[in-house]
Structure 1
Amino acid sequence: MKLLIGNRNYSTWSLRPWLVLKHFDIPFEDEVMQLSGPGWREAIAARSPTGKVPVLIDGTLVVPETIAIIEYLADSFPDKPIWPTDRQQRALARAAAAEMHAGFSALRNHAPMNLRASHPGKVDPDSVRGDLHRVETLWGGLLERSGGPYLFGEFCAADAMFAPLATRIRTYDLPVSDVAGRYVEAIYALPAFQDWRNQALQEPWVVDDDEIDVIQGRVAPGTLA
């Protein structure tokens, strides 16, 4: 089983199924597909039916799209608690994951994931206030119900879906409650996440489209090293 992923420093969608595979000790290998440089789009298109990453390859089966990959893993490894075992909790976890998949566009647009960086104050809180309010409400309710440290007690696919959002809060020092802050720290404490982050910190590549200083015009494209 192989997972095609983008640059670890920036690729939010790649991080999500990778965490599921790693945390639940499912044997796999990964291959990084560059998200910049000459011919990068063509290289991904040659391997991915959607022209995007991540893509899971299992024998002759090619599965694109993060949620589809996670569901395939849950079906393939029913002994792994990828989703909560309780039916009602599982429904809530899937609802949270679907909301993350479709929502929080302000945070996506204004605060791109960048694990190597620390950019406090560079994202206007007003531009993401609505998303932060919703994530506080969602996380707070689920954590109160479960007792934490993860949304449903133990780490599951819903947490994998929200992990990139948690990194945005830390990278840009966004204003959140103590409850949300503790959840961010729980994500960073997860061994699988630490493994991904440590590899991201070693990557030499820069993707200008995901660098806040380029996006906001502080530096010219192609000048970050």
Structure 2
Amino acid sequence: MKLLIGNRNYSTWSLRPWLVLQHFEIPFEDEVLQLAGPGWRENLAARSPTGRVPVLLDGALVLPETLAIIEYLADSFPDKAIWPAERKDRAMARAAAAEMHAGFSGLRNHAPMNLRASHPGKVDLDAVRKDLHRVETLWGDLLARTGGPYLFGAFSAADAMFAPLATRLRTYDLPVSDVAGRYVEAIYALPAFQQWLGLALQEPWIVDDDEIDVIQGRVAPGTLA
């Protein structure tokens, strides 16, 4: 089984199924497909049916799309508890994951994931205020219900889906409650996340489209080192 991923520093969608595979000790290998540089779009289109990452390769199966990959893994390894075991918890976890998949556009657009960076004060809080309120409510309700440290007690696919959002809160030092802050700390403490982070910090590549200084016009494209 192989997972095709984008640059670890920036690729939110790649991080999610990678965490599931790594945390639940499912044997796999990964391959980084560049998200910038000469010919990167053509190279990606040659390997991915959607021209995007991640893509799971399992025998003849070529499976794009993060939630589909996670569901395939859950079906393939039912003993791994990738989703919560209790039916109502499982339904709520899938609802939360789907909301993350489709929502939080303010944070996506104005606070791109950048694990190597620290950019306090650079995000317009008015642009992300609605998303911050929603994530506080969602995380707070679930953590109060289950007791944490993860959304459904033990780490699950729902946490994998929210892990990139948690990194945005830290990278841009966004204002959150102590409850949300502790959840961010729990994500960072996860051994699988620490492995991904360590590899991301070693990457030499820059993707201008995901660098807030380039996006906001403080730095010209191609000049970051």
TM-score range, shorter chain: over 0.9
Identity between Structure 1 and Structure 2 (%): 86
For residue 63 of structure 1, give the secondary structure of its aligned residue in structure 2: strand
Number of paired residues? 225
Aligned to 1:199: 199
Q: C-alpha offsets along residues 36-89 of structure 1, whole Å, 9 cap, x if unaligned?
A: 000101111101110000000000000000000000000000000100000000
Match of 1:153 in 2: 153
Which one-letter code corresponds to 2:80 in the other structure? K
Given the two structures, how large is their TM-score scaled by the length of structure 2? 1.00
Gaps of 5+ in 1: none
Q: Aligned partner of 1:114: which letter?
A: N
Name the counterpart of 1:142: 142
For 1:34, what is the secondary structure of its paired residue?
coil
Instruction: Identify the residue that residue 221 of structure 2 maps to in structure 1.
Output: 221
Q: C-alpha displacement at 1:124, in angstroms?
A: 1.4
* Alignment partners' CA distance in 2, 1:69 and 1:141: 27
- Which residue in the other structure is 1:92 paired with? 92
User: Could you say which residue in structure 1 is the equivalent of 2:59?
Assistant: 59
Q: Which residue of 2 aligns with 1:124?
A: 124
In 1: Cα distance, 2:90 partner to 2:168 partner: 26
Show structure 2 runs of 5+ residues with no match.
Answer: none
List per-residue Cα deviations over 1:112-133 (Å, max 9, x = no partner).
0000000000001111000000
Equivalent residue number for residue 169 of structure 1: 169
Partner residue, 2:31: 31
| Secondary structure of residue in 1 paired with 2:56 | strand
Superposed displacement of residue 100, structure 1? 0.1
The one-letter amino acid paired with 1:71 is E
C-alpha separation between the residues in 1 aligned to 2:165 and 2:39? 29
Amino acid at match of 2:106: A
Q: Match of 1:79, SS? A: helix
Q: Describe the superposition over 1:8-38 as per-residue Cα deviations: whole angstroms up to 9, x where unpaired.
A: 0000000000000000000000000000000
Letter in 1 for 2:111: A
RMSD between superposed Cα atoms in Å? 0.3
SS at match of 1:57: strand
How far apart in 2 are the matches of 1:208 and 1:44? Answer: 17
Q: Structure 1 CA distance, aligned partners of 2:71 and 2:42? A: 27
Deviations 1:135-168 (A, max 9, x none): 0000000000000000000000000000000000
Q: Which residue of 1 aligns with 2:208?
A: 208
Match of 2:63, SS? strand
Question: One-letter code of the match for 2:30?
Answer: D
Deviation string for 1:166-190 (max 9, x for gaps)?
0000000000000000000000000
User: For the residues of structure 2 that align with 1:154 and 1:99, how far apart are their CA atoms?
Assistant: 20
Within 5 A, what are the aligned runs for 1:40-79? 40-79=40-79
CA distance in 1, matches of 2:78, 2:147: 25
